[in-house]
Structure 1
Amino acid sequence: MEKHQAVVLGSNYYIGLSTVRCLGKMGVPVTTVDYNQEEAYGSYSKYVTSSLIGPYYKEDPEGFIDYLMAYGKKQERPPVLIPTADPYVEMVDRYWDRLKTVYLLPDIPQGYLSTIVDKDRLYAMMKEGGILVPETLEISEDNLYKKVREELGYPCVVKPVDSHSFVKTFRKKLFKVQNEQELTEAIEKAESRDLKVVVQRIIEGPDTNKYTFDAYVNASGRVSHCSSFHLLRLYPNDYGASVYTEHYYNEDIFDYGKKILEDIGFKGFAELEFKKDENNGRYYLMEINVRIVNFNTLLEKIGLNMPYILYRDLTGNPLPPQEVRETKNRVFWYLYEDLWAVRGYLKSGEWSLKEVLGSLMRPKAPAIFDWKDLRPVLKYNGMMAKKIPKRLFKRNQ
């Protein structure tokens, strides 16, 4: 039994649930922290030692941090703090120096994670290092429409700097615009909600041109554990989250990804998302995620238990380095959202029914289902039984 507590922020989504399972299976005592017990289905896992309900971090950020600090100070040893969703990452990053006095966190400066998440600052940093990123224009630039027309071309996308706030407001990750009028309307929509956006060239190609490099950078600043993956289906289509992803060794991005993370001084877990341009065959860095990712269960299945790797490194007993460079026949599958994704792909013709059915024959790493830990599954299914009819009704209106 491991001695340090792991405090997992957010168990109302399958990323939190998979984090709990990855730690609990290895004998780590796990505490979950949420603000609403009703939807925190991950907290029902048999691997949870204690489940806490604290202040809502958005309504009372100081109260939330005070709550975490008070809990951490009660523990015999400093707990490992693991945020599993972007809003928790932002909150922890904002109070990093304070939280570090009680919790075990990677040795990076306060505010560093926000720099990586902010697309403007990330792209500027990448350009300085000679890393390919999509051509992007600030909406405050002189002659914006002329530059969009000549440098980016239509269609193009209007993307947020703060993805989480944008998705919460508009229920989509970006606006795809076909002409100058639509560009104006998209910018005005974002500005009316005080959301900062940029205009970006579309990297041509289907969703299957997207790949990720997932890695843990240890306390010495070296990539110690890593592999690459191939995104097959996203929801929403084109610019959504991965709902059907395969393990795939992509030698074109493997060492490239390692170098990027080590050069920028990152520490902890990170995922680099690349898209291969259909026209020139080059890989563009689209974004960097700095939390445990959607297909965490797939990472575990191929031998990279990222939450436990992080836990062992931060508690001073790191695991031996491991790079998975051979492709393993396993896919991540989030059944619920993949059903909606497939609906869109069939409609667009990007996937045929035969291709979809064929893809489902492969060994899977499910997002939620686990025979050995059924309580969260039953809780989740109960929630979905209420939500799905409402969603179908809205779609049919």
Structure 2
Amino acid sequence: MWDAKDFPDKPIALVMNSWVSGLGVVRSLGVKGVPILALDPDPWAFGLYSKYARRSICPDPLRSEEAFVDFLIDIGKRLPVRGILFPTADPYVVAIAKARDRLERYFWIPFSPWKIIREIVDKELQYKKAAKADIPIPETFFPKSKLEAEEIGKTIKYPVILKPAYSHPFVANYGIKAVKVNSRQELTREYEKYTSAGHKMLVQEIVGREGDELYEFFSYTDRAGEPVASFVQRKLEQFPADFGTGTVFESADEPEIVELGLKLLKAFGYYGISFSEFKRDPAAPYGRPVGADGEFKLMELNPRTTHCNDLATACGVNFPHIVYEHLLGKAMEKTDAYPCGRRTGLASLGVRWIHLEERLSKQRKILIRVGRRGASGNKRIIFAVFTSSDPVPELVYIFHAVYLRARNFLAAVRALLVKSLSGKK
């Protein structure tokens, strides 16, 4: 737990969503001696138990933005100096952006105002603005009714994906990012299912093969839109296979991704920390066949840290600390040089990040492996949770996994007993 006396004079960093992404931020700041308060609604969030942070359970912004903001303000009133907020998931970003005027008295906020954030978190607005700025996007439709969805379904080539305009409440409700649809009837049925539950849905082409050629552009830009730091990483493996969360990433050198990423941020007038994901379409442009080099298309832009931000830190681009120092007014040199995943023969020179626990917990057949071209010759591998210098989060992860399996087993046994006893009556 924490007390304001623990942070006498140095600005603290409040890190929200203390799972993998939050843990990476905590460790990146902790090694630099930054005082940290880790927050999460779930006491099982293993990042809360890092040796680098004090911890506190906070309200869930997805359930009550007002309660969460009031909680932050209460913390701010108790701090001796202004703190810095590091939200690492969309619900926290949205709540903070909406309440920016109330929070800025107590905290530095490392991203743009709500009027810009709103255009990013709504994928319909995001894709339309990106297309207007000549950023390539997948072919996307925005039906406003079941009838419009039916008409779209008559003309498109299957399979396609059905995805939410607002991803964070959709993921919270269903545990998935998107739905793969294989027919017109299925499209109409799934569209009606999710829109009747209050979700605005988009219909989008599937770009390329499953998971192949996915890159992320991680950056921090100043208020003039100029990059203070930038980093490119390639997603090598993800779960689920179609539209999943990355389990293996590698540092990469792809100048086209940097160019597209900066152009995208300028189109929105965005400043602060962000990451954008692009995927190479092997059939584009001009209908080139699969396997040929094609253009990169925007998958999504997010106004927050990436899932594996500590990969950049391991490569010498410590985004959380760069943000911390920059917001406190310290002069910063542009940071964009790092060990990259340039391939030489069968070897890769990049640094690789692996979420080992997630990989081991899933069946191999439902993971998509993208790094198929040759053996890995990485100079360095880092793990998402485990590190000998900060072992407690890994122990919490293991204990929680064992607890969940035991609970599920006992629930299954109980269900069988109830069924057996009811059958004897």
CA distance in 2, matches of 1:107, 1:236: 30
**Taking structure 1 as reference, are residues 277 and 294 closer, same or farther at Cα in structure 2, changes over 3 Å only?**
same
Give yes or no for contact 1:86–1:164 (8 Å, CA) kept in 2.
yes
1:42 counterpart (44, 47, 55): 47
Q: Report how far residue 211 of structure 1 moved.
A: 1.0
Q: Report how far residue 390 of structure 1 moved.
A: 6.3
CA distance in 2, matches of 1:360, 1:384: 32
- Residue 8 of structure 1 aligns with which residue? 15
Tell me the alpha carbon deviations over residues 179-228 of structure 1, each in whole angstroms, 9 at most, x when there is no partner.
Answer: 11100111121023111101111112231221111111123321121121
**Taking structure 1 as reference, are residues 166 and 177 closer, same or farther at Cα in structure 2, changes over 3 Å only?**
same
Q: Report how far residue 35 of structure 1 moved.
A: 2.6
Give yes or no for contact 1:233–1:338 (8 Å, CA) kept in 2.
no
Tell me the alpha carbon deviations over residues 299-334 of structure 1, each in whole angstroms, 9 at most, x when there is no partner.
Answer: 111111111111111111143111136515211100
Counterpart of 2:71 in 1: which secondary structure? Answer: helix
Does 2:324 correspond to 1:304?
no
Give yes or no for contact 2:17–2:89 (8 Å, CA) kept in 1.
yes
Listed as ranges, the matches of 1:196-235 within 5 Å are: 196-235=200-239
Does 2:67 correspond to 1:67?
no
**AA of the residue aligned to 1:336:** E
CA distance in 2, matches of 1:107, 1:90: 11
Give yes or no for contact 2:160–2:180 (8 Å, CA) kept in 1.
yes
Does 2:305 correspond to 1:292?
yes
CA distance in 2, matches of 1:308, 1:276: 31
CA distance in 1, matches of 2:411, 2:140: 35
**Taking structure 1 as reference, are residues 171 and 58 closer, same or farther at Cα in structure 2, changes over 3 Å only?**
closer
Q: Report how far residue 389 of structure 1 moved.
A: 5.9
- Residue 33 of structure 1 aligns with which residue? 39
Q: Report how far residue 359 of structure 1 moved.
A: 4.8
**AA of the residue aligned to 1:70:** D
**AA of the residue aligned to 1:367:** A
CA distance in 1, matches of 2:308, 2:71: 30
**Taking structure 1 as reference, are residues 363 and 356 closer, same or farther at Cα in structure 2, changes over 3 Å only?**
farther
- Residue 337 of structure 1 aligns with which residue? 358
**Taking structure 1 as reference, are residues 59 and 263 closer, same or farther at Cα in structure 2, changes over 3 Å only?**
closer
CA distance in 1, matches of 2:410, 2:295: 43
Give yes or no for contact 1:8–1:84 (8 Å, CA) kept in 2.
yes
Give yes or no for contact 2:138–2:298 (8 Å, CA) kept in 1.
yes
Give yes or no for contact 1:19–1:307 (8 Å, CA) kept in 2.
yes
Q: What's the C-alpha RMSD, in Å, of the aligned pairs? A: 2.8
Give yes or no for contact 2:62–2:169 (8 Å, CA) kept in 1.
no
Q: Which has the larger radius of gyration?
A: 2
Does 2:317 correspond to 1:317?
no
CA distance in 2, matches of 1:265, 1:147: 32
Does 2:208 correspond to 1:191?
no
Listed as ranges, the matches of 1:45-194 within 5 Å are: 45-48=50-53, 50-106=54-110, 108-140=112-144, 144-150=149-155, 152-194=156-198
1:373 counterpart (390, 393, 403): 390
Give yes or no for contact 1:342–1:356 (8 Å, CA) kept in 2.
no
**AA of the residue aligned to 2:92:** Y
CA distance in 2, matches of 1:278, 1:223: 29
**Taking structure 1 as reference, are residues 147 and 187 closer, same or farther at Cα in structure 2, changes over 3 Å only?**
closer
CA distance in 2, matches of 1:241, 1:363: 22
Q: Report how far residue 76 of structure 1 moved.
A: 2.0
CA distance in 1, matches of 2:406, 2:117: 38
Counterpart of 2:203 in 1: which secondary structure? Answer: strand
1:243 counterpart (239, 244, 247): 247
Counterpart of 2:114 in 1: which secondary structure? Answer: coil
Give yes or no for contact 2:153–2:188 (8 Å, CA) kept in 1.
no
CA distance in 2, matches of 1:10, 1:63: 16
CA distance in 1, matches of 2:231, 2:223: 19
Deviates more, 1:122-131 or 1:376-385: 376-385
Give yes or no for contact 1:213–1:253 (8 Å, CA) kept in 2.
yes
**AA of the residue aligned to 2:35:** P
Tell me the alpha carbon deviations over residues 16-57 of structure 1, each in whole angstroms, 9 at most, x when there is no partner.
Answer: 1111111111111111222333x1321211111x32223333
**AA of the residue aligned to 2:26:** V
CA distance in 1, matches of 2:21, 2:184: 39
Gaps of 5+ in 2: 1-6, 285-293, 341-348, 417-425
**Taking structure 1 as reference, are residues 305 and 171 closer, same or farther at Cα in structure 2, changes over 3 Å only?**
same
Identity among equivalent pairs (%): 30
Give yes or no for contact 2:221–2:272 (8 Å, CA) kept in 1.
yes
Tell me the alpha carbon deviations over residues 332-390 of structure 1, each in whole angstroms, 9 at most, x when there is no partner.
Answer: 100122235661357xxx659x9699559763121011111112221122112223566
Counterpart of 2:107 in 1: which secondary structure? Answer: coil
- Residue 274 of structure 2 aligns with which residue? 270
**Taking structure 1 as reference, are residues 128 and 391 closer, same or farther at Cα in structure 2, changes over 3 Å only?**
farther
Give yes or no for contact 2:15–2:38 (8 Å, CA) kept in 1.
yes
Counterpart of 2:80 in 1: which secondary structure? Answer: coil
**Taking structure 1 as reference, are residues 355 and 381 closer, same or farther at Cα in structure 2, changes over 3 Å only?**
same
Tell me the alpha carbon deviations over residues 113-161 of structure 1, each in whole angstroms, 9 at most, x when there is no partner.
Answer: 23212110101111111111111112227754344443x3111111101
CA distance in 2, matches of 1:78, 1:101: 8
Gaps of 5+ in 1: none
